[in-house]
Amino acid sequence: MDVRIYYEDTDSGGVVYHANYIKYLERARTEYFRSRGFLVAELARDGFVFPVVRLEIDFKAPALHDDLLTVTTSPLHVGGSSVTFQQNIVRQGDGKLLVAGVVKLACISPGLKARRIPLEIRTMLETEQAVAE
């Protein structure tokens, strides 16, 4: 997923405010599922919610106003009721890695109880994880 950096994304020093990277990672995960035919809103209506339960971010270099970034998402580990993604943010043009993140999502019901990831999604995630290894 591509992200253009606008003035509103930056702090007083002209670099992307650190909390905005979390938004970019979230959007990329949503688009990851959408591009594979799974809409997050529909999953939630069906009783499958995927909150973040763990987040690790390494800030390697700053993004600046008007940069064009690419956010990649790939599954690292698929469990019965959780999935961990590797997400990277790279600046287009020079290909510099700006942010490396590891994000773990749990699959829960609206009642906040853990539940198994739907088989169709789990199969897709496991297939993509195997390809990435």
Domain ranges of the chain: 2-132
**CB crowding 36-45: b at 16 or more within 10 Å, else e:** eebebeebee
On the CB side of 7, CA atoms within 13 Å amount to 0
> Cβ(53)–Cβ(106) under 8 Å?
yes
Residue 36 pLDDT > 80, yes or no? yes
pLDDT at 42 over 80: yes
Catalytic residue among 11, 58, 67, 94: 11
The average pLDDT across 32-58 equals 97
DSSP letters of 49-61? B--EEEEEEEE-S
pLDDT per position as a tens digit, 88-122: 999 999 999 999 999 999 999 988 999 999 999 99
Q: What is the mean pLDDT of residues 17-21?
A: 96
Q: Is the pLDDT of residue 131 over 90?
A: no
pLDDT, residue 70, reads 98
Q: What CATH class has 2-132?
A: alpha beta
For the stretch 4-34, what's the b/e string if a residue is b when 16 or more beta carbons lie within 10 angstroms of its beta carbon? ebeeebbeeeebbeeebbeebbeebbbebbe
Distance of CA 122 to the CA centre of its chain: 16
What does the pLDDT read at residue 59? Answer: 97
Kindly give the residue spans of alpha helices, DSSP state H, lying in the chain. Answer: 18-35, 40-45, 119-132
67 among known catalytic residues: no
